[in-house]
Amino acid sequence: MKDSTKKRKKAIIGMQEAYGRQELNDRLYQILTQGKQGFDVFMKGLGRKMAEAIMYIEREELSGPDYHPKTPDIRKWASQRGSVYIGDQKIQIEHPRLRGAKGEIELNSYKKLKEPDGFSEELLTKALRGMSCQKYSDTVVDAAEAFGVSASAVSTHIIAATAKQLKEFKERSLSSFAPFAIFLDTIHRAGEAFIIALGIDILGEKMPLGLWQGATENHELCEELIADMQKRGLQVSRRIIWVTDGGKGIIKALRDRFGKKLIHQRCTIHKDRNIQRHLSKRYRKEAHHRFRTALEQNSYEDARQMLLDMKKWLRGINESAADSLMEAIEEILTLHRLKVPGLLRKTLHSTNPIESMFSTVRDCEGNIKRYRDSRMMQRWLASALLYCEKGFYRVRGYASISVVMATIDREQADNVAMKVAA
């Protein structure tokens, strides 16, 4: 057996004893999915683990494995807290110990690691490679080889990890999620459409609820997603605020499923853009100002009247722009009709929350050069969504949710009473 092969096997054994291959690969996977942020976490968290691994490797070389010790005079002897330098940072570690006939045997690696910059260059050279050009995937492989883990082992684990996360994401129960609002939007990958649902619960917490894949965004795709979420326990008997852009497929699916019970808020940013597409440059600034000013009104009546005035102005300029405004005027003003307070209204008036999540998803997937198949797309998308979830905060204006829910309940009760009277 070649010396290099022997050293590699010893390194792997040492690292497994120090912290296990699973944890190393989990951290390497973090780099792939989190880019630069993940690399920073890697340098701080894994740096300590690497130092511990080096010492365990040396201890293994001096004492031999437990089942085949090199000499009875040298034996492994617990561990204790200590500190080493990784770069210019002093890091707390668990220091493995050896005991011989004459007392404790000092590890040369520990002695070297206690010196500032004594060993950091050798430890981190390959891990740092590629940072300047942002090739984080290549960096992961280089780091794995530098630390005694094969590139094939890393890639195998990544596949297993993402498959596990996909299963977790697609099968997790939604029975404990109490929905207040749900955003629906589509993200495209390699010619495929993935419709995704982002929910806000009654406490203002966000949660990705599901994804469904199809060739294009259509009402059938949306219906399948909603059916899947209900199958996993999502309660939609209580009226929910659905927020979408102008996609006809999604809107048709919602109207078909919920009918007159549907509470639908159209994205005001998309509608603003749609109106401006019909206008020449000389009118776009004025149209934008009129539209935003109307939506800034707190009263439904005031906002609606200003939009109607805008319609009259648009009729004299461009009929298509006026038609675009009127096509969705009531759905633009849903939040105003429900008397949603200003801060919460800013959260719900557009698809920005789900599009912001998509932006993070794209950052997570930025390291992927090519998707092999549909399953790979789903694995990575689910993993990225779960990563996004960890960084979510409660939405702005969440304190007003209970007030809005009471308004919705009263509206529903009034509708029921009117039907009974009729």
pLDDT of residue 420: 53
Whether 189 contacts 371, CB under 8 Å: yes
Rounded CA-CA distance 155/166 in Å is 16
pLDDT of residue 368: 56
Listed residue (146, 136, 135, 141) closest to 157, CA to CA:
141
Two structure tokens written together for 326: 């009127």
Two structure tokens written together for 110: 């520990």
Domain ranges of the chain: 3-149, 177-421
Listing DSSP states for 85-136 in one string gives EETTEEEEEEEEEEEETTEEEPPHHHHHHTSTTSSHHHHHHHHHTTTTTT-H
Listed residue (111, 113, 21, 12) closest to 65, CA to CA:
12
Reported pTM: 0.64
Specify the DSSP class assigned to residue 148: T
List 185's β-bridge partners, or say none. Answer: 196
pLDDT of residue 174: 94
Determine the angle formed by the axes of helices 151-171 and 374-390, rounding to 10 degrees.
70
Rounded CA-CA distance 2/151 in Å is 20
Two structure tokens written together for 221: 């795709």
Q: Please, which residues have CB within 8 angstroms of residue 286's CB and are 6 or more apart in sequence?
A: none
Query: Which amino acid, residue 342?
Result: G
How many residues would you count in the chain?
A: 422
Neighbour tally for 106: CB within 10 Å: 10
pLDDT of residue 123: 42
pLDDT of residue 115: 72
Query: Which amino acid, residue 26?
Result: D
Q: What share of the chain is helix, strand, coil (3-state, %, to 5)?
A: 60, 15, 25
pLDDT of residue 421: 57
Specify the DSSP class assigned to residue 279: S
List 91's β-bridge partners, or say none. Answer: 84
pLDDT of residue 162: 60
Rounded CA-CA distance 4/18 in Å is 21
Q: What is the pLDDT along the chain (422 residues), one digit of tens a residue?
A: 555 555 555 555 554 444 445 555 555 555 555 554 544 444 555 556 656 666 666 676 677 665 555 666 777 777 778 887 765 667 777 778 888 777 888 877 777 777 765 444 444 444 444 433 344 445 445 544 444 444 554 455 555 666 676 678 788 899 999 999 999 998 887 777 888 999 999 999 999 998 888 767 778 889 999 999 999 999 887 789 999 998 888 999 999 999 888 999 999 999 999 999 999 999 999 999 999 999 999 999 999 999 999 999 999 999 999 999 999 899 999 999 999 999 999 999 999 999 888 887 777 665 555 566 667 777 777 777 887 888 888 999 999 999 999 999 888 776 655 555 55
Cite the DSSP H helix spans in 172-299. Answer: 219-231, 248-258, 268-277, 281-295
Is 345 exposed, middle or buried, given 0-12, 13-18 or 19+ CB atoms closer than 10 A? buried
